[in-house]
Amino acid sequence: MVLAAESKRLITAEQLCWWPGGPAHSFTLGPGLNWVCGGEQRGKSSLLQVLAGQRTPLSGRLNKPPMSCWAEHTVDPSLDHTTGQAWLAAQQARYPSWQRPLAAALSEALHLEEHLPKPFYMLSAGSRRKVGLLAAAASGADLVLLDTPYAALDLRSCRLLDELLSDAADSRTQIWVIADYALPAGLAGVTLAGVVDLGE
């Protein structure tokens, strides 16, 4: 019965093509940590948009059960005049499974307390990304999508992200998907639930 319940949380693709001139791919993403890899202009970000329901595939079939999804981008210029505090409050209101203690712990671990009252345009690219990672981890969403999550992070934050993603790999309920050029060294020993290799 456990296997039957877990199968309802699988995302499967059959000969899915989502960008002009790109090849079709078939894959399965399940609870835990999943990795989308590939070189420049291979469709990594576009695939995350498809999984988030923000982009329509050109062909093939995507089988995705109803689920909550986190796919925010705090580097978006439209957020420039929004404070980190206000943005996080909006995220908390949006996700019923928001984990307040985890959000508070990550805010302290990532040294964000002094930055959250500021508008995003006053934050560095790394700090903006850290606010997004805090929200991703605390959201409690069924599907968490992260595009090149290590970009612009300092070494300490990278190590903390390694820990977060290693914990995510053990989840039996959430599907985490990271898209990056190569698997970060800190995740080398982590068991992946699924891999989508888009080639070089």
What distances in angstroms separate CA 15 from CA 46, 87, 116, 165, one per listed residue?
16, 37, 43, 28
What is the Cα–Cα distance from 172 to 133, expressed in whole angstroms? 20
Q: What is the pLDDT of residues 175-189, one digit of tens each?
A: 999 999 999 999 999
Q: What would the two tokens of residue 39 be? A: 């070189």
Q: What is the pLDDT of residues 118-154, one digit of tens each?
A: 999 999 999 999 999 999 999 999 999 999 999 999 9
What is the Cα–Cα distance from 168 to 165, expressed in whole angstroms? 5
Torsion of CA 11, 14, 18, 20, to 10 degrees: 170
> Which one, of 109, 123, 130, 114, lies nearest residue 81 by Cα?
123
Type of residue at 156? R
H/E segment holding residue 17: strand 11-17
The domain total for the chain is 1
Return all residues near 156 (Cβ < 8 A) that are at least 6 apart.
Answer: none
Return all residues near 57 (Cβ < 8 A) that are at least 6 apart.
Answer: 16, 17, 18, 50
| Strands of 102-142, DSSP E | none
Range of the domain at 124: 2-197
Residue 22 belongs to domain with CATH number: 3.40.50.300
Print pLDDT tens along the chain (200 aa).
334 445 568 999 999 999 888 899 999 999 999 999 999 889 999 999 999 999 999 999 999 999 999 999 999 999 999 999 999 999 999 999 999 999 999 999 999 999 999 999 999 999 999 999 999 999 999 999 999 999 999 999 999 999 999 999 999 999 999 999 999 999 999 999 999 999 98
pLDDT at 158: 97
β-bridge mates for residue 31, sequence order: none
pLDDT at 68: 97
pLDDT at 8: 61
